Structure 1
Amino acid sequence: MTVQTRYRQGLAAPLLAAACASAQAIHVPAVDAGMGEQVIAIPAKIAGADITLQTTIFKPPGDGPFPVLFMNHGKDGGDAHQQARARYPVISREFVKRGYAVVIPMRMGFAGSGGSYVNSHCQARENGEDQAASLYSAMAYVMKQPWADQQHVILAGQSHGGLTAIAAGSHNISGVRGVINFAGGVNSRSHCDWQAALVSAFKAYGAVGTTPTIWFYGANDTHFGPRLAADMYAAYTGAGGKAQLVAYGPFKRDAHGMSSSPDGVAIWLPETMRFLQSVGMPTEIKYKIKD
C-alpha cells in the first residue's frame, strides 16, 4: 500500500512503447473498430421499481468465456437523463485488445436507463451504495451469459463511477479480482462539508473491503485535488483497505478526464497492467483493432 509518485513521461512512455513493440512482433487476429459494440436493455429492480438499464457491451470475436471489465460512468451537470450514453472508447479498446468483454451500464436515471437519479446530497457513502445497486443488477445479468468468465472480473469507474466501483468492491463479490478507480468521488454541490463526507465514505469502504484496488488522481484535477485524494487514500488504507495510489502529476488542463484521453494511456496503462498481473488477470494483447 504505497503512494506512487514516480510517474514521469520519460518512464511511462518507454514502458508503453515496449509493450506495443512486443505486441506488433506477434501475429494477433484483428477486431473491427466497432469492437462488437452492442447496446442492450438490462432488466433491473431497484428500490422497488422495475426498470431497464441502457448498457453498452464491447466484446472480442468468438464465444468466450471472456474476462469482464465493468466500467462505471461519471455524472455530468444537469439532468442525468440528458447525459449521453457512456462508451469509454479509449479504455474499452485497450481491454478488448487483451481479450476482455467491456460492460458499461448507465445507472438508474442516466441516459436511456429508467428511474430517476438518486442524489444523496452530502451522504457520500450512501450515494456510492445507491449507485452500486445499478451495477449489481448489470452484473447479475451479465455473469449469467455464457461468454462471461465469472471468476475473472474487474470493476472500474471514473469520477462518480469510481466511487460506485469502490463501493461495490467493498462487498468482496465472488470473482471480482480488483477495482480500478479513475479520479473517483462525488461533489454534491450542497452547502455542506462534502470533502469530509467523501473521506468518511472511503474510510467506511476500506474497513470492510478486502478486494485490491488501484487509484489514479492527477495534480490538477478540478474536482478531487491531490490533498483530498491523499486524505481519501489515508482513510481507506488506514481502515484496512488494500489500495495503490498513482499520483501522476498534472495532465493537460484538467486531470479529471485523463482516463478518457488517448494521451492518458501512457499514464494509466503500464500501472494497470502491473496491477492486473498482480491479481491474476490477463494482460497479453490477443487482438489488434482495425482502424
Structure 2
Amino acid sequence: MKTARALVVIVATLAGLASAQTEPSATARAPSDRIPLAVDLQERIERVTVTVKDRWGREQTQAIPVTVYRPAGDGPFPLVVFNHGRTLDRSTQGRSRPEHLARYLVHKGLVVMAPTRLGYGDTYGPFDPEDSGPCERKDHAPAAQAAADQVLATVAYARQHLAFVDAGRWVVMGASMGGNTTLATVRLKPEGLLGGVNFGAGSGGNPVQRPGQPCSPERFGQQWDGPAVNSQAPTLWLYWQNDLYNGAEWPQRWRQAWEQGGGRAEFHALPAVGSDGHGGVFIDMNRWVPLMEPFLAGLGVGRAHVPVRYRPVPDADLGKFDPLPANDTLRQAYAQRFLTAALPRAFAVGDQGAFGVYSGDWAEGRALGLCQRTGQTCRLYAVNHDVVEQLP
C-alpha cells in the first residue's frame, strides 16, 4: 500500500547545510538514510538477526536494520517497538525512521526501536514472508506471524544487548501492515508486553481503483476465530474515516471480531484527514496524541507529555527577522519557507544557528524537533501570524 506524502520540512545549520525531508505515510518510503542521524534522539542503527517463515513454510534467516531512538540518561527506559507499513515497491523502502513519532515518545521517557522487516530495502529479494496471496483470497495469518516474530527478535536483542532498555515493560505499535503486526504480537502474549497500538491495520486494497474496499476483508477478521483468549494486553485502535484502503465500516467489524476472539480494544474512528486517512499516524498527531496519552498512562509507562507553550511578543514585526544568532541563511529560510507557508506553521531557531520550519499538523513540535535534531538548544521564534516567546 502506498499513500501520498505529507508536507516538506526543512532543517539547516548556520553553515547553510540543508536537507529536505518528507514525513512518510503509514506505508510510504521512509526518509532517506542520506539525512543525518538525529543527534538529540541519539539515533543509532542496530542489526538484529531474525528467522521467519513464509506462507509456504519456507524459512530464511537474515540480519535486519533496526533504528533506535532513546532519551538522555542511562535508563533503563520502557520500550516501544514501532512497525512500518508495506509499499508496492519493497526494494525502494528505506530504513524505517519514524522520527516525529519517535520524538514524541522519547520525550515521554521511552526508547523507540523501529525494525525494517525482512524483505524490505537492503534485504529485498524473492523471499517475501509477507506475501499473503491474491486480493480475493488472502491468507493473512502467516504474514502477520512473520512480522510478529521480528518484533520478538527485536525485544530479545534489546534485552540481551541494550542496557538502557527495560525489556520487561514494552509496547508494540504499528501502522497499516505494522498495525497487523501489532495485533499478531498481542495475540502471542509475550513476556513483558503491556499493550499495543494499531494505526489502520487492514487487509490491503487499491485506493485508486477500489477506494474503501479492502481485499478479502472477511478473512482478515477470521484470524481471531476460535476460543476466546483471555488476559490479552489492551489495545488502542486508531482509524480515519477517509482511509482509502480500509474504508470506514470494515475496521468496526474487525474490532468486533477481535473482541469476540478474547481481545481488548479501545476503538476510535477519527475524522477525515488529508487526501487519504490511511497515513493518519504521520499527518494527524494533533488528534491521536490526546488519545495516546491516557492509553499509555493506563499502561503505567511514560511521563505525561508537556505541550509546547508560548505567547505572542507584543508589537513584534512578523516580517522582520532578528533573532540571535542571525545570518543570511536564516533570514532567507524565514522569508522563503516560513512567511510563504500555509497555516498552521512554525519556525524554530537554535542557539548556534540551526533552524526548523514546518507547515501543517503538529507544526510547533515538528519545527522544534527539526531544529533540535542537530543537538542544539532550540526555541520557537514564530508561529502562524506571531513572533512568539516560548514559555517553560
TM-score by length of 1: 0.80
Question: % of aligned pairs identical?
Answer: 23
Matching residue within 73, 80, 85 for 1:74? 85
Counterpart CA distance in 1 for 2:285 and 2:215 is 33
Structure 2 residue ranges without an equivalent (≥5): 1-37, 54-58, 207-213, 308-367, 373-377, 379-392
Matching residue within 118, 126, 132 for 1:120? 132
CA distance 1:205–1:236, shift in 2 (3 Å): farther
Counterpart CA distance in 1 for 2:233 and 2:245 is 25
Displacement of 1:150: 2.0
Displacement of 1:256: 0.6
- The aligned amino acid for 2:115 is P
Displacement of 1:226: 1.4
Matching residue within 68, 87, 103 for 2:113? 103
Structure 1 residue ranges without an equivalent (≥5): 1-31
Displacement of 1:40: 2.1
SS at 1:277 equivalent: helix
- Relative to total residues, which structure has the larger helix share, 1 or 2? 1
Displacement of 1:120: 2.3
Of structures 1 and 2, the one scoring higher in RCO (CA 8 A, sep 6+) is 1
Conserved in 2, the CA contact under 8 Å of 1:150 and 1:175? yes
Conserved in 1, the CA contact under 8 Å of 2:240 and 2:269? yes
* Residue aligning to 2:200: 183
CA distance 1:87–1:46, shift in 2 (3 Å): same
- 1:211 and 2:228 are equivalent in the alignment: no
Number of residue equivalences: 255
SS at 1:53 equivalent: strand
Displacement of 1:45: 2.9
Displacement of 1:33: 5.7
Displacement of 1:128: 0.9
Counterpart CA distance in 2 for 1:127 and 1:206 is 22
Displacement of 1:283: 3.0
* Residue aligning to 2:171: 154
Counterpart CA distance in 2 for 1:220 and 1:196 is 20
- The aligned amino acid for 2:83 is N
SS at 1:143 equivalent: helix
SS at 2:121 equivalent: coil
SS at 1:112 equivalent: helix
Matching residue within 186, 203, 223 for 1:201? 223
Displacement of 1:139: 1.5
CA distance 1:199–1:46, shift in 2 (3 Å): closer
- 1:222 and 2:244 are equivalent in the alignment: yes
TM-score by length of 2: 0.61
* Residue aligning to 1:41: 47
Counterpart CA distance in 1 for 2:42 and 2:219 is 40
* Residue aligning to 2:156: 140
Conserved in 2, the CA contact under 8 Å of 1:170 and 1:209? no
Conserved in 1, the CA contact under 8 Å of 2:204 and 2:215? no
Pick the structure with greater CA Rg: 2
SS at 2:253 equivalent: helix
- Once structures 1 and 2 are overlaid, which stretch shifts more, 64-73 or 232-241? 232-241
- 1:92 and 2:102 are equivalent in the alignment: yes
- Once structures 1 and 2 are overlaid, which stretch shifts more, 167-176 or 179-188? 179-188
Counterpart CA distance in 1 for 2:148 and 2:227 is 13
- The aligned amino acid for 1:272 is M
Conserved in 1, the CA contact under 8 Å of 2:91 and 2:122? yes
- The aligned amino acid for 1:137 is A
| Aligned Cα root-mean-square deviation (Å) | 2.4
Displacement of 1:131: 1.6
Matching residue within 146, 160, 166 for 1:130? 146
CA distance 1:65–1:204, shift in 2 (3 Å): farther
- The aligned amino acid for 1:232 is W
Conserved in 1, the CA contact under 8 Å of 2:140 and 2:223? yes
